């Protein structure tokens, strides 16, 4: 909340009627209380507050390092809502992938959000939910791009990260926490959580996502569901 009004900070996805999956760096500083957040569901336009839900509990992954933020990995968090949302034609759950699922390079997937449409270009009114189809980029190739830019020999893209995007097609600021989904056998699985990147839509810097398959067991320890078959 800013100046008495709720402001969009991050995206998320509904994985259970009472649980939202998002990025841990969206819940900073660490001492922020659950009452500082609301979750909007069922709307295509931002700030149509027909279903604005209170958050009862925040669970960050224990390996998330706030001092490193998203770059340190484990950029994943769960929000438990005070009450379940009503599922409908416009409000539904996204499927979690099996932990064994492998996402191949160049597979085409979709990312959605209300974030900026380019560097320093906020989404203009009426702020309709945006979506774009983007290719998955292999971790080795993605790491090479980011290492070259940082002149570092350290591993930049970690095993629990996934890269996707191409020139002019990417997630951007304020899309953090939102879902990257891919289709297999008529089912849409959430394979990524928008995490970080370098600029937006840059040819040499794909967007970086938290790899959901790395955290399916952790999610299932907290949320009363099983991964989709």
Mean pLDDT of 122-150: 92
Distance, CA of 78 to CA of 58 (rounded, Å) = 6
Distance, CA of 165 to CA of 142 (rounded, Å) = 10
Q: What is the CATH number of domain 13-93+217-222?
A: 2.40.10.10
Told to judge if 75 belongs to the known catalytic residues of this protein, a careful annotator would answer yes
What percent of the chain has pLDDT above 70?
Answer: 93
Q: Which one of 53, 160, 170, 176 is the catalytic residue?
A: 176
Reported CATH class of domain 108-214: mainly beta
Please write the tens of the pLDDT for every residue from 83-104: 999 999 989 999 999 999 999 9
pLDDT of residue 153: 63
Q: Which one of 13, 16, 25, 171 is the catalytic residue?
A: 25
Closest CA to 113 of 213, 189, 199, 40: 40
Question: Which stretch of DSSP H or E encloses residue 136?
Answer: strand 130-137
> Model pTM?
0.93
Told to judge if 153 belongs to the known catalytic residues of this protein, a careful annotator would answer no
Distance, CA of 179 to CA of 15 (rounded, Å) = 11
- CATH 2.40.10.10 residue ranges of the chain are 13-93+217-222, 108-214
Residue with more model confidence, 148 or 4: 148
Query: Residue 170: pLDDT above 80?
Result: yes
**DSSP label of 157:** S
pLDDT of residue 152: 60
Told to judge if 199 belongs to the known catalytic residues of this protein, a careful annotator would answer no
Confidence of residue 221 (pLDDT cuts 50, 70, 90): very high
Residue with more model confidence, 229 or 145: 145
Please write the tens of the pLDDT for every residue from 14-52: 999 999 999 999 998 888 899 999 999 988 998 876 668
pLDDT of residue 3: 39
Q: Which one of 13, 53, 61, 75 is the catalytic residue?
A: 75
């Amino acid at each position: 909340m800013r100046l008495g009004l709720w402001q969009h900070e991050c995206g998320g996805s509904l994985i259970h009627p009472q649980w939202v999956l998002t990025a841990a760096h969206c819940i900073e500083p660490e001492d922020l209380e659950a009452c500082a957040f609301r979750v909007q569901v069922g709307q295509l336009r931002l700030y149509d507050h027909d279903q604005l839900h209170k958050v009862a509990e925040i669970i960050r992954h224990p390996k998330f390092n706030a001092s490193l933020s998203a770059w340190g990995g484990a950029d994943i968090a769960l929000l438990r809502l005070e009450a379940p949302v009503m599922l409908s034609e416009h409000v539904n759950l996204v499927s979690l992938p099996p932990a064994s699922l492998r996402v191949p390079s160049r597979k085409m997937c979709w990312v959605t959000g209300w974030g900026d449409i380019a560097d320093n270009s906020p989404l203009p009114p009426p702020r309709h939910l945006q979506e774009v189809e983007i290719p998955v980029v292999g971790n080795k190739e993605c790491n090479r791009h980011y290492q070259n830019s940082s002149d570092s020999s350290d591993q930049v893209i970690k095993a629990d990260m996934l890269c996707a995007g191409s020139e002019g097609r990417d997630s951007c600021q304020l899309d953090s926490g939102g879902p990257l989904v891919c289709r297999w056998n008529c089912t849409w699985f959430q394979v990524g959580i928008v995490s970080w990147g370098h600029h937006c839509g840059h040819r040499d810097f794909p967007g970086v996502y938290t790899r959901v398959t790395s955290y399916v067991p952790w999610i299932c320890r907290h949320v009363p569901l099983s991964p989709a078959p």
